[in-house]
């Protein structure tokens, strides 16, 4: 009877360890996906900033510095 209870406890510990390992693997995957999403956002924000600067430059070339300053608030 004692050996049977120890066997149950050992199998329960093994099951819990396996569940913990699976949870840790899911967490690591989620963290990797989050890092990738943050990188995409950062790249997109940098591109948006670059394009806003390019638009301002083109407006200055086309309309002069006064028009570019007036349109800067719309950007």
pLDDT score for 7: 87
Q: Where are the domains of the chain?
A: 2-74
Q: What residues contact 56, with CB distance under 8 A and at least 6 apart?
A: 68, 71, 72, 75
pLDDT score for 18: 98
Tens of pLDDT, residue by residue over 10-59, are 999 999 999 999 999 999 999 999 999 999 999 999 999 999 999 999 99
Question: Can you say how many angstroms the Cα of residue 33 is from the centroid of all Cα atoms in its chain?
Answer: 6
Q: What is the pTM of this model?
A: 0.63
pLDDT score for 69: 61
């Amino acid at each position: 009877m004692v050996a049977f209870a120890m066997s149950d406890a050992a199998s329960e510990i093994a099951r819990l360890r396996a569940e913990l390992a699976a949870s840790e693997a899911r967490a690591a995957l989620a963290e990797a996906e989050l890092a990738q999403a943050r990188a995409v956002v950062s790249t997109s924000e940098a591109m948006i900033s670059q394009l806003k600067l390019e638009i301002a430059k083109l407006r200055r070339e086309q309309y002069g510095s006064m028009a570019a300053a007036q349109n800067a608030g719309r950007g």
